[in-house]
């Protein structure tokens, strides 16, 4: 009788391992597809750098209630900090895993940020007061064109880590390990 229960437990553990392995492979495949499609891997912006960026917005008199978009928001880290500073925050994220992590964080924080699983390149973001992005150099010229053609005059654009091709830099923030580039349309 003991061997019978042992085999049942072993079988249940085997099924659980298979289920979790399939879930892991699904998210891994989604991540690989997203990286191939966007050419942008997930990387987190350090919290202290987000705080420096938000302090810079305050210096520029960007008032609470202003609309901030995070293009490629990952799990929403910058969105939640922006919300704590009084900004309305909307993020776009294509990676299913990061998107779901962001939704869970939103629920746990009882946040009002919006996290949307769509390609920001195909969205209307013309109502933005502030744009934040942490992408990679290879896509910045395309992103720069999108922003140049779609933002209202006076919008603050913040690019962490990579400058926007052919844009005049308004200010460079000393953030580590990457610089932060600030522009005004």
Distance CA 81, CA 156 (A): 17
What rounded mean pLDDT belongs to the chain?
A: 92
Q: Which CATH number fits domain 47-184: 3.40.50.720, 3.40.640.10, 3.40.50.150, 3.40.50.300?
A: 3.40.50.150
pLDDT per position as a tens digit, 151-169: 999 999 999 999 998 999 9
Which candidate, 71, 72, 90, places its Cα nearest to that of 80? 90
Q: Where are the domains of the chain?
A: 1-38, 47-184
The structure's pTM equals 0.85
Q: Which residues of 11-48 are buried (b: 16+ CB within 10 A; e: fewer)?
A: eeeeeeeeeeeeeeeeeeebbeebeeebebebeebeee
Distance CA 123, CA 81 (A): 23
pLDDT per position as a tens digit, 104-137: 999 999 999 999 999 999 999 999 999 999 988 7
Distance CA 27, CA 148 (A): 34
The yes-or-no verdict on residue 43 having pLDDT over 70 is yes
Place of tokens 């946040």: 111
State whether residue 44 is helix, strand or coil.
Answer: coil
Percentage of the chain exceeding pLDDT 90:
76
pLDDT per position as a tens digit, 54-81: 999 999 999 999 999 999 999 999 999 9
């Amino acid at each position: 009788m003991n061997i019978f229960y042992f085999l049942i437990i072993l079988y249940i553990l085997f099924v659980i391992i298979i289920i979790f392995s399939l879930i892991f492979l699904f998210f891994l495949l989604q991540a690989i597809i997203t990286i191939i499609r966007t050419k942008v891997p997930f990387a987190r912006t350090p919290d202290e750098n987000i705080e420096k960026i938000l302090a810079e917005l305050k210096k520029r008199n960007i008032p609470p209630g202003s609309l901030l978009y995070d293009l490629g928001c990952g799990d929403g880290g910058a969105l939640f900090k922006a919300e704590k500073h009084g900004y309305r925050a909307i993020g776009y994220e294509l990676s299913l895993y990061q998107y779901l992590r962001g939704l869970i964080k939103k629920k746990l924080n009882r946040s009002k940020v919006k996290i949307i699983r769509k390609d920001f390149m195909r969205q209307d973001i013309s109502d933005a007061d502030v744009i934040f992005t942490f992408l990679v150099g290879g896509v910045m010229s395309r992103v720069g064109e999108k922003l140049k053609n779609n933002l209202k005059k006076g919008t603050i654009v913040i690019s962490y880590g990579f400058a926007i091709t052919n844009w005049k830099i308004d200010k460079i923030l000393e953030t580590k390990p990457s610089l932060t580039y600030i522009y005004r349309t």
